A and B are shown apart, each in its own frame.
Chain A
Amino acid sequence: MSDMHSETDMAKAGVTKDAEPFNPKPARLPPGLSVGPLAWMKQNLFATWLDTIITIICAVIIFMLVRHLVTWGILDSVWDAANRRECMNKSPEGACWAGPRLWFHQFIYGLYNVDERWRVNIGFFVLVAWMVPLFLSRVTVKLPTAAGLVLTYPLFTSYLFYGGEKGMLWTIVSALGIACFIWAMINLLLELFAGKPLGKLLEQKFGMISLKSRMLLLLALWAAVSIVWSGVELEVVRTVRWGGLFVTLVVAGIGITFALPAGIVLALGRRSKLPLIRIVCVVFIEVFRSVPLITVLFMATTMVPLFLPEGVTFDKLLRAIIAVCLFAAAYMAEVVRGGLQSIPRGQYEAAAAMGLGYWRTTGLIIMPQALKLMIPNILSNFIGLFKDTTLVAIIGLFDLLGMVQAMSEATDWIGLVDEPYLFAALVYFIGCFAMSRYARHLENKLSTEHR
């Protein structure tokens, strides 16, 4: 039976085989427009009718905007003119970049004495150089450098920027900043070129070296710097002359430096089991968070003079800085509280089980974990603070925005608005955008979640 079947099958197969030899069809072409730039455009720009219309409208608007910006800002612009009228005569439709160009130094330094501007530059470069080791992955000693920067840089620069006669005490105090900076730079160079920090190198040469002897070395450096430093006296530059981006950075910098430790203290106080401390912290945080910054600034300018004893006056800049610090601390406290809340209870219980008390639990177990979680929020808080410093312009300080405002009201440039404000916007944008990108980068880097 099976043979018969197979024979007939064979026969059938044979018949068809002979009539039509197997001829594979050619492979089908990929469906039109599924790869390549055209396909991408089809999917992302012209997917539907509506999309096509919207895309075309947007493209036309963008094109017109860009064309206008290019002709206004570049092609028709004037870079060389003494005042606005001259600009208008040269090119009535173009941008007058001559104004911001002539005022550029005022935008940066305000009315800071021209011959003394190098002090601001030095202060800035010291800051940048001091921050370099914090961002290099090759550098291993970071915490002491950061602590030195935060604690001693303000001591040094407050004299550098203000100047005047410095007594014995102020000489020593501000010299500490210089000593720490030199120390940090030595460490940075050693780590970059010798691959090891100073401490490790000394250890190799002389065997074990204790923390104490390293401290002694720093003390010796401090003493040496103090002696040299005592011979330097800088001209006084009153804070009314301070201005521009310099003041913006001073206010934001002090605010940021103060806000983090104060915020940590307030947040811990808010979570404290002691009712009085908790109430004080809650009231402080809630009051400052629920009112606008400008009211705090007005409070500082109008009420602080009433609080001070006779003969003591705070200048306007200092009052503004105090207001910004209080305000920033309250906001930072809430960021820190958020971080603390995200630490699971088990961590506290485990720490208690190990026999750690409150301070050690907080300092060794909770804070390190919480701070890491908080970093993106802290940075976005810094961005907010940086933008908020513009409010000092309202109470009559000449920060970058205040200076820009002053320029568009100056007799030579009156009515010139777009160009200087665009410049200021660009400066703020670069600062904030860089910080927000860095925050995102850190968030990815520090994230230990397994994905």
Chain B
Amino acid sequence: MNSPVRVGNTTHGPERSRLSRMASDPKIRGWVAQAVVGTLIVLAGYYLVSQTIYNMEKRGLTAGFDFLSSTAGFSIGFHLIDYQPTDTFSRVFLVGVVNTLFVSVIAIIFATLFGFVMGIARLSHNWLIARLAATYVEVVRNTPLLLQIFVWYLGVFTLLPPPKQAFELVFGVFVLNNRGFYATAAVPGELFWITGIAIIAGLALTFMFRRSARAQQEATGDAPSYAWKALAVLVAAPAAVFVLTGAPLSWEVPTLKGFNYQGGWAVPPPFLALLIALTVYTSAFIAEIVRAGIQSVGKGQTEAALSLGLPRSRTLKLVVIPQAMRAIIPPLISQYLNIVKNSSLAVAIAYPDLVGLWMQTSLNQAGRAIEIVATTMLFYMVVSLSISGLLNIYNRRVQLQER
């Protein structure tokens, strides 16, 4: 606050001492400030490190990452990659990472779909729908996520009937009970890879059709339809290949054996509770983003497009949505990041995500607080930095080219 008001360099004159001139030189003051901050940080760091080493020696704790290769010794309720209690701690970390990413990715997909529906519903001309969507958004956004997770878990999924009275949905393709959600799994046979290749080839061909159609439209103004061709290579060809190779796909239906359902593809109740809570919570935020994005496109844009003779559907597709997306995508991606971070609340309902497996169970077992906290944070930082990196690339691409 004691910066002297400088009127100009010339008025300083010789009557001021060298020291006071130096004191008011912003460059020198900057260096002094940095030196002070740097010294403080070094001192604090030195204190923390020495104190920690002292404390750890006193308690007989050791440091280092050697525990990663020792046996974890505990079992994990839900894992997507192979895991046995005899596996090492590094495997536990990997299981946690996969579980976190798994629930996040599925929640991202559902939250996006549901959020867009709700955001558009808020703008509906049907008063009842608009009100309902607004109520949904306000109620969900203004209650804590953790509370919602508890309500879904304790209030819904643990109250489901036991396996013997399970809900069998769609003729037993899906089963829901208090042990989890079971879905019929498709087990690919030996020759299934050929069908896989056919699907990939179909996708590639469709992409090429699209490009040549675009090119033709740019050149001549005609937009050729490639829907039939795409249907042929995307559906008909893979289906034919599938049949010709002898339909190498079998179905594994979940069936009640003993006290529980066996077979198929299963997720436990905490996963469902977490997934639904994350989806519901984030979709309310996405709905607001979508609404704001659509409203940010000026009315003049729609009017101009209509006066050019574009039909309503094309006005939406070619004029409104591309401009709305520019406003929607950056906050949307930061919501995705929030989903990844919020999935850590899994620890409260014992879904084995990274925080639950690593920061709780492994930390209790191995006791390496610093290493475990650091690696967990590093994981989230890598995810966060890579997502914000993608966001920056996107922003640069869609930036308005201003003159």
Contact = CB atoms under 8 A, between A and B. Distances in A.
B51 A309 contact: yes
A47 B359 CA distance: 55
A291 B34 CA distance: 27
Nearest to A302: B369
A298 B144 contact: no
B299 interface: no
Given A59-B128, A390-B147, A429-B143, A290 B373 contact: no
Interface stretch (A114-122, A234-242, A356-364): A356-364
B384 interface: yes
A418 B156 CA distance: 10
Contacts of B26: 358
B155 A421 contact: yes
A436 B138 CA distance: 10
Given A360-B3, A394-B347, A306 B52 contact: yes
B147 A421 contact: yes
A66 to B, nearest CB: 12
Contact of A428 (B34, B48, B52, B147): B147
B151 A299 contact: no
Nearest to B138: A433
Nearest to B369: A302
Given A44-B126, A276-B37, A303-B369, A394 B348 contact: yes
B377 A291 contact: yes
B150 interface: yes
Interface in B110-157: 125-129, 132, 138-139, 141-147, 150-151, 154-155
Nearest to B33: A274
Interface stretch (A50-58, A133-141, A178-186, A194-202): A50-58
B47 to A, nearest CB: 8
B126 A417 contact: no
B377 A428 contact: no
Contacts of B342: 292
A306 B51 CA distance: 7
Contacts of A273: 30
Contacts of B90: none
Given A290-B385, A308-B51, A391 B345 contact: yes
Contacts, number: 167
Chain A interface residue bracket vs B: 35 or more
Contacts of B344: 292, 294-295
A359 B370 contact: no
B37 A393 contact: no
Contact of A387 (B41, B128, B143, B363): B143
A298 to B, nearest CB: 5
A197 B107 CA distance: 56
B386 to A, nearest CB: 10
Interface in A342-388: 355-360, 363, 383, 387-388
Contact of B377 (A47, A58, A287): A287
Prevailing SS type, chain A contact patch: helix
Contact of B363 (A292, A302, A357, A359): A302
Given A306-B55, A394-B348, A51 B126 contact: yes
A287 B344 CA distance: 16
B22 interface: no
B128 A303 contact: no
A154 to B, nearest CB: 24
A208 B58 CA distance: 65
Interface residues of B, number: 59
A44 B141 CA distance: 26
Given A51-B126, A295-B373, A391 B146 contact: yes
Given A306-B369, A408-B154, A428 B129 contact: no
B312 interface: no
Given A45-B126, A45-B127, A290-B381, A357 B3 contact: yes
B380 interface: yes
B315 interface: no
Given A306-B52, A408-B154, A421-B155, A393 B3 contact: no
B5 interface: yes
A405 interface: yes
A390 B37 contact: no
Contacts of A424: 147
Contacts of A59: 128
Contact of B381 (A55, A287, A356, A417): A287
Contacts of A292: 341-342, 344-345, 355, 380
B366 to A, nearest CB: 12
A377 B384 CA distance: 22
Most buried by B among A298, A308, A388: A298
Interface in B1-52: 1, 3-7, 26, 30, 33-34, 37-38, 41, 48, 51-52
Interface in B383-400: 383-385
Residue with the highest number of chain B CB atoms closer than 10 Å, among A51, A292, A388: A292
Interface in A388-402: 388, 390-391, 393-394, 401
A276 B380 contact: no
A280 interface: yes
Interface string A405-448: 10010000000011001001100110011001000000000000
Interface in A143-170: none
Nearest to B30: A274
Nearest to B370: A303
B142 A433 contact: yes
Contacts of A220: none
A355 B5 CA distance: 6
A342 B395 CA distance: 18
A275 interface: yes
Contacts of B363: 298, 302
A15 B105 CA distance: 87
A277 interface: yes
B56 interface: yes
Contacts of A391: 146, 345
Contacts of B361: none
Interface string B191-207: 00000000000000000
Interface string B346-378: 011000000100011001000001100100110
Nearest to A386: B144
Contacts of B142: 383, 387, 428-429, 432-433, 436
Given A45-B127, A359-B1, A428 B143 contact: yes
11 contacts: A43-B125, A275-B34, A277-B33, A307-B51, A360-B3, A387-B143, A388-B144, A391-B345, A405-B150, A417-B154, A436-B142
Interface of B: 1, 3-7, 26, 30, 33-34, 37-38, 41, 48, 51-52, 55-56, 58, 125-129, 132, 138-139, 141-147, 150-151, 154-155, 159, 341-342, 344-345, 347-348, 355, 359-360, 363, 369-370, 373, 376-377, 380-381, 383-385
Given A302-B369, A428-B144, 6 more contacts: A44-B128, A291-B377, A295-B355, A295-B373, A306-B51, A390-B147
Closest 5 CB pairs of A and B: A290-B384, A357-B3, A432-B142, A44-B127, A387-B144
